[in-house]
Amino acid sequence: MSKESVNNESDAELEPTIDDVETAEADAAVDDKKESKTPAKLTEKERIARSKEIAAKARGKESAASRRRARHEAQKEANAKAEKAKRDSMTKAQLRYSQPKTHNVDDDQNPVWFKPIMFGFLLLGLLWILVYYLSSAKLPVAELGDWNLLVGIGISLVGFLMMTNWK
């Protein structure tokens, strides 16, 4: 074999054939389709909405969802502009007092011991009064006599007062 025939054979191997070009174009088309596909993790509603948008685009119309989205975005922009204009006209003192208050969630919670103590006072006062009546004024403290009622009511009152701060 001569050098020229070897070079011609190697050049022929490097030149793409029609089959190679068609295969490459088909692979590119498949890759484009894969990229345009929606993610597989869409919910049923999302898939339906997506198909409606695609159908509306194909008809040359805008879908209701995209119109709503556009209206919502326009409303947000208008609100932002109005808020900015309002803030620009305020003094520093007005701005300071118009800032939203930071609210700590932990401040709203009672300590763990609060409820048991509160219900304990309520039950203790009730039991004090029940024992007084059932023992015919001999218990809990015989020397107090009828003042035992006041003690029982006072203990229950502490529980009721704690209840006003229960969160």
Residues near 98 by beta carbon (within 8 Å), at least 6 away in sequence: 87, 90
Kindly report the pTM of this predicted structure.
0.39
Tens of each residue's pLDDT in the chain, 167 residues: 555 555 555 554 555 555 555 555 556 555 555 444 445 677 888 888 888 888 877 877 666 777 788 888 899 999 999 888 888 888 888 877 777 767 666 667 889 999 999 999 999 999 999 999 999 989 899 999 999 999 999 999 999 999 999 88
Which amino acid, residue 25?
Answer: E
Closest CA to 129 of 109, 155, 91: 155
Contact 107, 142 (CB under 8 A): no
Backbone angles phi, psi at 161, to 5 degrees: -65, -35
Closest CA to 145 of 132, 157, 161, 160: 132
pLDDT of residue 146: 92
pLDDT of residue 119: 97
Closest CA to 115 of 167, 64, 152: 167
Domain ranges in the chain?
3-98, 105-163
